[in-house]
């Protein structure tokens, strides 16, 4: 998996030994803009050189949440990709309209599985879990998985585009 991260996951509880994460971005974003957070310049150049010398066949994955219930808003998403937590504790960014893009990253071509839990607020907090979504993605493909949250259900729709 091409997640540029300082650790495999996120755990801020001392009970789990602490930990931190830099975040995740696509390979193209890293090559264009550099890392999400400051890193030693020699490390950035080493990563850039490796990614440039080994341009593996990658696809782009976008994970999106839409809250369908009026009066509710998304406050947290905890998602897992191929057995690794990818969004625990990350702030959410707004997308078009009511869409929240909660994860975008380059992934190797092949088979993957993603699942997520969504916390929404309204009159009271609500937790909604999605079913695991198994998918196969080809190199140079963009896959967009939209989770539409309504009550305790998360419906899933995927769309594919070239590059």
**Which residue ranges make up each domain of the chain?**
14-53, 58-162
Does residue 135 or residue 27 have the better pLDDT? 135
β-strand partners of 157: 146
Residue 107 neighbours by CB distance under 10 Å? 22
**CA 105-150-96 angle, 5° bins:** 45
Does residue 133 or residue 22 have the better pLDDT? 133
Nearest-angstrom CA–CA distance, 124 and 154: 18
Does residue 8 or residue 57 have the better pLDDT? 57
Task: List helix spans (H) across the chain.
Answer: 27-33, 41-53
pLDDT greater than 80 at residue 113: yes
Nearest-angstrom CA–CA distance, 108 and 57: 6
Phi, psi of 46 (to 5 degrees): -65, -45
> What tokens does 124 get?
């009271």
Give the residue from 24, 34, 26, 33 showing the smallest Cα distance to 59: 26
Does residue 54 or residue 73 have the better pLDDT? 73
pLDDT greater than 70 at residue 11: no
Between strands 73-81 and 110-121, the pairing is: antiparallel
Question: What are the tens digits of pLDDT across the range 31-55?
Answer: 888 888 888 899 889 988 988 887 7
The percent of residues above 70 in pLDDT, for the chain, comes to: 79
The percent of residues above 90 in pLDDT, for the chain, comes to: 21
- Whether 4 contacts 110, CB under 8 Å: no
Compute the mean pLDDT over every residue in the chain, rounded to the nearest whole number.
78
Q: What is the CA radius of gyration of the chain?
A: 16
Question: What are the tens digits of pLDDT across the range 53-72?
Answer: 877 778 889 999 999 888 88
What is the structure's pLDDT at 24? 66
**The domain defined by 58-162 carries CATH number 2.60.40:** yes
pLDDT greater than 80 at residue 13: no
Between strands 141-150 and 126-129, the pairing is: unpaired
What average pLDDT does range 126-136 have in this prediction? Answer: 91
Of the given ranges (62-66, 102-106, 116-120, 148-152), which has the lowest mean pLDDT? 102-106
pLDDT greater than 80 at residue 159: yes
> What tokens does 140 get?
């140079």
What is the structure's pLDDT at 102? 85
């Amino acid at each position: 998996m091409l997640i540029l991260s300082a650790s495999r996951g996120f755990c801020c509880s001392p009970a789990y030994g602490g930990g931190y994460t830099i975040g995740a971005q696509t390979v193209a974003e890293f090559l264009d803009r550099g890392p999400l957070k400051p890193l030693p310049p020699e490390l950035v150049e080493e990563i850039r050189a490796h990614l440039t010398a080994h341009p593996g066949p990658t696809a782009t994955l976008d994970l999106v949440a839409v809250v369908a219930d009026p009066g509710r808003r998304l406050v947290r998403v905890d998602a897992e990709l191929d057995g690794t937590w990818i969004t625990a504790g990350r702030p959410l960014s707004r997308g078009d309209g009511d869409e929240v893009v909660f994860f975008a990253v380059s992934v190797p071509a092949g088979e993957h599985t993603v699942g997520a839990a969504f916390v929404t607020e309204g009159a009271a907090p609500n937790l909604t879990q999605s079913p695991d979504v198994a998918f196969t993605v080809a190199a140079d493909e963009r896959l967009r998985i939209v989770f539409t949250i309504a009550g305790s259900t998360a419906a899933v729709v995927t769309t594919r585009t070239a590059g």
